[in-house]
Amino acid sequence: MLNKQTIEVIKSTVPVLEIHGTNITTRFYDRLFTSHPELLNIFNHANQKQGKQQTALANAVYAAAVHIDKLEAILPVVKQIAHKHRSLGVKPEHYPIVGEHLLGAIKDILGDAATEEILQAWAEAYGLIADAFISVEAEMYDQTRRQQGGWADFRAFKVAEKVKESDVITSFYLVPEDGKPIADFQPGQYISVKVEVPGEPNTHIRQYSLSDAPGNPYYRISVKREDEKTGKPAGHVSNYLHQAVQEGGILWLSAPAGDFVLDVQDERRVVLISGGVGLTPMVSMVNTLVDKYPQRQVTFIHAAKHSSVHAMKEPLEQLALANPQLSVHWCYNKLSDEDKANRTYHKEGYLDLAWLQEIVPSTDAAFYFCGPVPFMRALNSLLTQLGVPQADIHYEFFGPASSL
């Protein structure tokens, strides 16, 4: 445990971190990759270029400083990040490297204001937090390795089937190359996929939610092709998977991870809400609920720009027809003439409070949602306006954690 003086010094840096946090973490990554370029094989380069990783780390450091006298308050966040670290292959030997360059970045940015007392206090605090991560991750590695069908690090999987789900989303059915069993997972979890893209100097690792129910002899991921947009480059990995990886190809996968999971003990109604490719963990959840918990009422709401980018629409509608406890609702920003003619939609425009009140019969339910961050922020606000307790609101970020 940290002594009182160390805690007071750390807390005194909170205002500085609020102002300079992102500058510190940006400098940290510059130092880290200059000294250890091999770590570029672990980190998501796109998140680095867009500043998402720097912001997420700055928020984490700030939270650690705020809660330094009650670190148990951030334990759920530690576990969430530890899931990601385990899926990426982060190891104990990486933590001293990170600590060295984080302290160096603090000194570089703050200059003389980063006194020896402050640097020593942060060194002690970082050591304590690093030990917590190492302990939690060691348990996760061990549990993953020992479970039936489990494995350590990355394992070769063959693409058994490749299915186009929409204009931008394709599903990959993955089976182990060695023919042995695969680890079970909880609906909502993800796997990491490691690829070597021709012409790229480093390997790339991306997390993709598992988009089918557990219990199958395969894993399914449904990948959105990220095209180039204003201010956002095309996705290296998503385009490689769509264009270059064919049936029979090999992908390297980590075992399932993640703490955004369906609570199967809760017997109340489940409301699943997704935007864009955020529907992938929701499909895993709804398939599991219909198959294994048919007594639970389920409302599935999906928002998309238009029907041509709406993946898995027909299978979900067929599922609803065969299971009266499931209702599905679609919301498109723009309706095509075919949509209007066939009435294959429920709402045009955006999710709003009036429509949610119309289709969600009660707020006494468990709400799960996922999608682009602006969509999630708006939805979180709507659910709060509906009076849904925070304890019943569950969500997942694709990429570094942000704030709603």
- Binding-site residue set: 85, 190, 206-209, 276-281, 397-400
The one catalytic residue in 29, 62, 126, 137 is 137
- The amino acid at residue 64 is A
Cα–Cα distances in angstroms (integers) from residue 242 to residues 185, 224, 235, in the given order:
25, 9, 11
For residue 137, indicate whether it is catalytic.
Answer: yes
240 vs 262: CA distance, rounded Å: 31
Contact 238, 224 (CB under 8 A): yes
In sequence order, what are the beta bridge partners of 329? 301
CA distance 207 to 52: 15
Instruction: Cite the annotated binding site for FAD by residue number.
Output: 190, 206-209, 397-400
Task: Show Cβ contacts of residue 197 under 8 Å, excluding neighbours closer than 6 positions.
Answer: 204, 236, 237, 240
Q: What does the alpha-carbon distance between residue 265 and residue 389 come to, in Å, rounded to a whole number?
A: 18
Helices (H), 36-182: 45-49, 52-66, 75-88, 94-110, 116-146
Beta bridge partners of 330: 302
Amino acid at 388: V
Q: Where are the beta strands (DSSP E) in 142-189?
A: 155-164, 169-176
The active-site residue, picked from 29, 62, 95, 368, is 95
Binding region for NADP(+): 276-281
- Listed in sequence order, the residues at least 6 apart from 199 whose beta carbon sits closer than 8 Å to its beta carbon are none
- Measured on CA atoms in the order 22, 377, 191, 251, is the torsion positive or negative? negative
Which own/partner contact pairs does 51-54 have at CB distance under 8 Å and 24+ positions apart? 51/22, 51/26, 52/399, 52/400, 52/402, 53/25, 53/29, 53/400, 54/22, 54/25, 54/26, 54/29
Q: Are 213 and 225 in contact (CB under 8 A)?
A: no
Catalytic machinery residues? 95, 137
